[in-house]
A and B are shown apart, each in its own frame.
Chain A
Amino acid sequence: MKITRMTATSLTLVAALAASGTAALAQDLPGPVKARQGQFNILAINLGILGDMARGKADYDAEAAQAAADTLVAVSMINQAPLFPEGTSEMDIDGTRAKAEIWDGWESFGEKWSGLGAAAGELQQVAATGQEALGPAVGQLGGACKACHDDFRAPE
């Protein structure tokens, strides 16, 4: 009994240490930076679902495709301003590839983000209509990603 409790205690301790270790590894990036990186990860995961169907790497599933496209549209509606506060460019902190040009060209940055919304909207229209429609629409969305990254994302 005593041994069991000790084991449980030490396990809890180990788990707590592991958790804090993970948190330290994830760097202490400011909340807005973590949040914006998270939204891009959500985009990538859902694009992966659609892209793999478009390329025939995964079976086409109209319902899953629609859900993924709906999610892209939802993310595209997130207001970007609070996620890009001053002082969070690649010049200011490690762990981001956001170029300082974002803040110099905020209006242009906003237009590029709207471009993502437009492309996601078109994808939402066609996602459930069949596998053939996915390729061009995913390609167009890729174009919106690149249009913004061209000016505003630094290389690795």
Chain B
Amino acid sequence: MRGLLGFLVLLAALAGGAVWMISAPDRLPAGEFADDAGGDPVHGETVFTAAGCASCHHAPESEDKLVLAGGQRFASDFGTFIAPNISPHPQAGIGAWSLHDFANALLRGVSPEGRHYYPAFPYTSYIRMAPQDVVDLWSYIRTLPEAESPSQPHEVGFPFNLRRGLGLWKQLYLDPAWITAAETDEARRGRYLVEALAHCGECHTPRDRFGGLQRDTWLTGAPAPDGKGSIPALTPDKLSWSAEDIAYYLETGFTPDYDSAGGHMVEVIDNFAQLPAEDRAAVAAYVKALPEGGIMD
């Protein structure tokens, strides 16, 4: 009897240890992103715009969207996430970080202290970013104004406040593979914008009960994360706009009926409006080529 008990304790300890090991933060190798000398801040600004950094990290109600003070609240089924200060302030923001720290945050969802970030921060999309874009983005973000306001803690209850569990979540959902195939340069650019930088799938794709994106129903629309209303499907069985209509919407916010966007999409359009027309056309072509119902082969 004692033997059996001991065996069970040992088994539980082993299982616990295994869970502990596989939930450990997976960081980039130390040699990667070690040298931040090659950054181009001008191109970094385009990356910054396409990635929508300011849309979530500018202070609520602030008209200056380049002060990345944080503070916007994002309600979800798992709690309310509050965007942190990512301005270059050395204490309140990320001014004391290295490029390597920044790359670990963007591409692996791991903080410099080795904690998992919640996936409200869309590293599940940014993991597909081109390495040089990360370097350029870092060089641009460091030119922005410093903000002193400290980041506020997320309002997340048990068990989601146990961040270690996110290591298991990442085993399931953090995947660098592209969702769709792309054969031409334009298609690759559109895919890069939609699936990596602009992280469209984070809102337009339904999530399962653990909050992971359901890749087999890609961009088929979803309930709004804060529980109010829904986010529309983009697949051709649901969205009948022409490619030109989509590009015009991303430039001006006008639907084909000249209704105008509302909610968080306004911020997204403000970003797309600043990108070159070819980028909007590439996104439109991507959307038009989506499979009906979002089912990937």
Interface membership of A139, Cβ < 8 A: yes
Q: Are B257 and A155 in contact (CB under 8 A)?
A: no
A150 to B261, CA, bound (A): 8
In the complex, chain A residues whose CB is within 8 Å of the CB of B253: 142-143, 145-146, 149
In the complex, chain A residues whose CB is within 8 Å of the CB of B232: 156
Interface membership of A44, Cβ < 8 A: yes
Q: What is the chain B residue whose CB lies nearest that of A41?
A: B259
Interface residues of B in 55-103 (CB under 8 A from A): 61
CB A37 to nearest CB in B, in angstroms, measures 11
Q: Are A44 and B229 in contact (CB under 8 A)?
A: no
In the complex, chain A residues whose CB is within 8 Å of the CB of B244: 55
In the complex, chain B residues whose CB is within 8 Å of the CB of A142: 252-254, 260
CB A47 to nearest CB in B, in angstroms, measures 4
Residue among A139, A150, A155 making CB contact with B252, cutoff 8 Å: A139
Bitwise interface map of A from 21 to 32 toward B, beta carbon under 8 Å scored 1, else 0: 000000000000
In the complex, chain B residues whose CB is within 8 Å of the CB of A121: none
Residue among B228, B248, B259, B269 making CB contact with A154, cutoff 8 Å: B228
Bitwise interface map of B from 203 to 234 toward A, beta carbon under 8 Å scored 1, else 0: 00000000000000000000010001111100
Query: Knowing A48-B257, A154-B229, A154-B262 touch, does A146 contact B269 (C-beta < 8 A)?
Result: yes
Chain A contact residue count (CB 8 A cutoff):
23
A43 to B258, CA, bound (A): 8
A6 to B251, CA, bound (A): 58
Interface membership of A13, Cβ < 8 A: no
Q: Are B252 and A149 in contact (CB under 8 A)?
A: no
Interface membership of B29, Cβ < 8 A: no
Query: Knowing A149-B263, A155-B229 touch, does A44 contact B252 (C-beta < 8 A)?
Result: no
Interface membership of A127, Cβ < 8 A: no
A87 to B262, CA, bound (A): 21
Q: Are B258 and A97 in contact (CB under 8 A)?
A: no
A142 to B101, CA, bound (A): 39
CB A119 to nearest CB in B, in angstroms, measures 12
Q: Are A146 and B270 in contact (CB under 8 A)?
A: yes
Residue among B231, B248, B258 making CB contact with A155, cutoff 8 Å: B231
Interface membership of A153, Cβ < 8 A: yes
CB A137 to nearest CB in B, in angstroms, measures 11
Q: Are A155 and B260 in contact (CB under 8 A)?
A: no
A44 to B229, CA, bound (A): 22
Interface membership of A93, Cβ < 8 A: no
Q: What is the chain B residue whose CB lies nearest that of A142?
A: B252
Interface membership of A115, Cβ < 8 A: no
CB A142 to nearest CB in B, in angstroms, measures 4
Interface membership of A138, Cβ < 8 A: yes
Query: Knowing A139-B252, A145-B253, A146-B270 touch, does A153 contact B259 (C-beta < 8 A)?
Result: no
Q: Are B251 and A139 in contact (CB under 8 A)?
A: yes
Interface membership of B265, Cβ < 8 A: yes
Q: What is the chain B residue whose CB lies nearest that of A140?
A: B252
Q: Are A55 and B248 in contact (CB under 8 A)?
A: yes
Q: What is the chain B residue whose CB lies nearest that of A144?
A: B260
Interface residues of A in 78-100 (CB under 8 A from B): 90, 97
Query: Knowing A47-B254, A145-B253 touch, does A155 contact B263 (C-beta < 8 A)?
Result: yes
A146 to B266, CA, bound (A): 6
Residue among A44, A90, A146 making CB contact with B258, cutoff 8 Å: A44
Q: What is the chain B residue whose CB lies nearest that of A55?
A: B248
Residue among A45, A97, A105, A139 making CB contact with B262, cutoff 8 Å: A97
Interface membership of A117, Cβ < 8 A: no
Q: Are B251 and A155 in contact (CB under 8 A)?
A: no
Q: What is the chain B residue whose CB lies nearest that of A98?
A: B262
Interface residues of B in 251-297 (CB under 8 A from A): 251-254, 257-267, 269-270
A88 to B51, CA, bound (A): 36
Bitwise interface map of B from 237 to 249 toward A, beta carbon under 8 Å scored 1, else 0: 0000000100010
**Apart from the given pairs A44-B258, A139-B251, 14 other A-B contacts in the complex at a CB distance below 8 Å:** A48-B257, A48-B258, A51-B258, A142-B252, A142-B253, A142-B260, A146-B269, A146-B270, A150-B270, A153-B263, A154-B262, A155-B265, A156-B230, A156-B262
Q: Please name 7 pairs of A and B residues whose Cβ atoms are closer than 8 Å in the assembled complex, sorted by A.
A: A44-B258, A55-B248, A142-B260, A146-B269, A146-B270, A153-B262, A155-B231
